Amino acid sequence: MQRSTQPSYQQGLSAIGRYLDQYGFEDLLLCELDDGFVGRVTQGGKLVEAIPFPLADLQTMVRQPGNGAGPPAQARGNTQDSGSFIRRTIGGYHEFLGALGAQCDLLQATAILVVELADEVLFTFRPAATNPSVGESPSREFLYDDAGVRQLLLGNGPTLG
């Protein structure tokens, strides 16, 4: 996704998070494609059709004002009772995906995948190839538990070291 005319990961993922919070979606699976992202979520405990986030739509979403931070009133409810790990941990996706996007930009990630599990989030990506003659870099993965999510929000996410 990282092209100069496209939104940064931080911008794009933050906009996706705002959208997910706005509609009260949960249980996220988000996959990067060549032309954007596709997400699978639940709403009210039911699986929703795949939600495409093509790059053209992401550019528009990034330019839209935030309209308030966090999930809307109907999505806030009692997040402790929610089935969603991210909602239970921090209340919504906007802040988490924005922080994860900043980490993706820092790591020069490509081909990202975010899978929200019951008590953690699996994040996989492929770092940008540092030596083009070697070909593609191997994928890296991280599991974010409650403490890991909070560290990510503080700007202390994974490093390539």
Q: Is residue 32 part of a domain?
A: yes
Task: Tell me the two tokens of residue 15.
Answer: 């906009």
Each residue's pLDDT tens digit, 118-152: 999 999 999 886 665 666 668 999 999 999 999 99
Q: Is residue 107 part of a domain?
A: yes
Q: Is residue 53 part of a domain?
A: yes
Each residue's pLDDT tens digit, 6-62: 899 999 999 999 999 999 999 999 999 999 999 999 999 899 999 999 999 999 999
What confidence score (pLDDT) does residue 74 get?
Answer: 43
2: confidence class by pLDDT, cuts 50, 70, 90: very low
Per-residue DSSP letters for 125-153? EEEPPSSGGG-SPPPEEEEE-HHHHHHHH
Report the C-alpha gap between 17 and 25 in whole angstroms.
Answer: 10
CB 86 within 8 A of CB 116: yes
Collapsed DSSP state (helix, strand, coil) of residue 161:
coil
116: confidence class by pLDDT, cuts 50, 70, 90: very high
Residue 120: Cβ within 10 Å count: 17
Q: Is residue 161 part of a domain?
A: no
Q: Is residue 1 part of a domain?
A: no
Give backbone dihedrals phi and psi of 59, rounded to 5 degrees, phi first: -60, -40
Number of domains in the chain: 1
Q: How far is CA 136 from CA 1, 35, 109, 128, in A?
A: 16, 19, 12, 8
Whole domain around residue 73: which residue ranges? 9-153
Q: Does the pLDDT at position 67 exceed 90? A: no
CB 158 within 8 A of CB 138: no
CB 10 within 8 A of CB 104: yes
Q: Does the pLDDT at position 69 exceed 50? A: no
Q: How far is Cα of residue 65 from the mean position of the Cα atoms in its chain?
A: 19
Total-model pTM: 0.84
DSSP state of 4: T
Q: Is residue 66 part of a domain?
A: yes
Q: Is residue 141 part of a domain?
A: yes
Q: Is residue 51 part of a domain?
A: yes
